[in-house]
Amino acid sequence: MGLKHEMIAQDLAEKIKHQQFLPGDFLPSEKQLCELYGTSRETTRKALNHLAELGLIQKLKGKGSLVLDIQKYTFPISGITSFQELNDSLGLHAQTKVLQQKTGAAPKYFGQTPIEAKKAIFIERLRIIDQQPAVLDQDYLLDPPITVLPKDVAQHSLYAYLENELGLEIDYATKEITVEQVEPAIAEKLALKANEPAVVVRSLSYLADTTPFQLTTSYHRPDKFKFIDFARRKKLNH
């Protein structure tokens, strides 16, 4: 079970990552890819457009699909990616220390957005890289839709549990990055110097049916923080 255009995109992405296509190379033409995968042109084009959005290739009219020079660490960071996934795909071998897990009331607001769910599971986790605290994550998993969370999930991949065990479809999120002074308890956990601010990433994540399910605040040590993004120019802003 798999959609054709996604499988083509997946396959080509793998081949680019494994350097079977090098930056500066052209991918096979759409016609050749159609024959190769046994699909129609529109389907092949859907896959190529997906890769272009991700910044893996650049489509040049009349010429072909050029493989771009994206360093490995450039692409997984933007978008919605769990720390565990990042850890795996970048080989960070970071350590996760679960500081708290309890149930309680859900926050009433995220910025100006009111939160409907009344209950939530609260998790606090410290991410340690090279024996140094790097990130403090505070998560509220909203109930509904998430009613229980087995004890060991927070230690491993939350997203894998939600997607694979509960069958939830994680779809989109809004994020906000600021730099702030944080309360002493948090500063202490991150081993910040006196008056040193933290990078605060607040995000609200939604399922495919538009139900919000997770509210996260991540506090990053500023010297460990790096956000890398690939963006295409969109022309729909009035």
Binding site for its own copies (CB under 8 A): 6, 9-10, 13-14, 17, 42, 50, 53-55, 58, 60, 66, 68-71, 74-76, 78-81, 85, 89, 112-113, 170-179, 197, 199, 208-210, 222-223, 225-238
Q: From CA 187, how far away is CA 146, in angstroms rounded?
A: 30
Of the ranges 1-9, 155-163, 167-175, 225-233, which one interacts with DNA (CB under 7 A)? 1-9
Phi first, then psi, for residue 21 (nearest 5°) are -125, 125
Q: From CA 85, how far away is CA 93, in angstroms rounded?
A: 11
Which one among 46, 119, 175, 189 touches DNA, defined by CB under 7 A? 46
**Pair of tokens at residue 70:** 């994206």
The count of residues in the chain is 238
Cα separation values, 176 from 60, 129, 210, 222, Å: 34, 23, 19, 16
DSSP state of 195: T
Binding mask 63-92 for DNA (x = CB under 7 A): xxx---------------------------
* 8 vs 121 by CB, closer to its own copies: 8
Closest CA to 43 of 14, 13, 8, 2: 8
**Burial zone of 119 (CB within 10 Å; 0-12 exposed, 13-18 middle, 19+ buried):** middle
Which one among 60, 99, 148, 160 touches DNA, defined by CB under 7 A? 60
How near is the Cβ of 193 to DNA at its closest, in Å?
49
Q: Does 101 bind DNA (CB under 7 A)?
A: no
Q: Does 145 bind DNA (CB under 7 A)?
A: no
* 27 vs 67 by CB, closer to DNA: 27
Which one among 10, 25, 59, 96 touches DNA, defined by CB under 7 A? 59
* 68 vs 126 by CB, closer to its own copies: 68
Q: From CA 131, how far away is CA 85, in angstroms rounded?
A: 20
Q: Which spans of this chain sit near DNA (rule: CB under 7 A)?
A: 3-6, 27, 29-32, 38-43, 45-46, 48, 59-65
